[in-house]
Amino acid sequence: MVAPVSSNEAVRLRLLGRHRILDTAPDAALNDLARLASVICQTPIALVSLIDEHRQWFKAVVGLNVRETPRDQAFCAHAILDDQVMVVEDAAADTRFSSNPLVTGNPRIRFYAGAPLLMREGVALGTLCVIDRTPRQLTAEQLDALQVLRQAVVAQLELRRALADLAGAEMLLPMCAWCRDVKDHDGPWSPLHDYVMKSQQVTHGMCPECASRF
Task: State the pLDDT confidence band at 161, using cuts at 50, 70 and 90.
Answer: confident
> Which whole number is the average pLDDT over 83-94?
97
What would the mean pLDDT of 36-56 be, rounded to a whole number? 97
Render the burial of 98-129: b for 16+ CB within 10 Å, e for the rest. eebebbeeebebbbbbbbbbbbeeebbbbbbb
| Sequence-separated (6 or more) residues with CB below 8 Å from residue 199 | 184
Q: For position 72, what pLDDT does the model report?
A: 96
Cis amide prior to 107 (ω within 30 degrees): yes
CA 50, CA 39: separation in Å to the nearest integer? 21
pLDDT at residue 6 in the model? 86
pLDDT of 200: 46
Architecture label for domain 9-168 = 2-Layer Sandwich (3.30)
- Residue 184: the pLDDT is 63
| Predicted pLDDT at 163 | 73
Q: Where are the domains of the chain?
A: 9-168, 182-211
User: pLDDT value at position 202?
Assistant: 46
The 3 state secondary structure assigned to the chain is CCCCCCCCHHHHHHHHHHCCCCCCCCCHHHHHHHHHHHHHHCCCEEEEEEECCCEEEEEEEECCCCCEEEHHHCHHHHHCCCCCCEEECCHHHCCCCCCCHHHHCCCCCCEEEEEEEECCCCCEEEEEEEEECCCCCCCHHHHHHHHHHHHHHHHHHHHHHHHHHHHHHHCCCCECCCCCCEECCCCCEECHHHHHHHHCCCCCCCCHHHHCCC
User: What residues are paired with 114 via a beta bridge?
Assistant: 86, 129
Q: Report the distance separating Cα 174 and Cα 157, nearest Å.
A: 29
What type of residue sits at position 19?
Answer: H
Residue 56: name the closest of 87, 28, 26, 22 by CA. 22
pLDDT tens-digit map of 132-149:
999 999 999 999 999 999
Q: How many CB atoms lie within 10 A of CB 198?
A: 10
Closest CA relative to residue 50, chosen from 88, 22, 19: 22
More confident of the two residues 178 and 32: 32
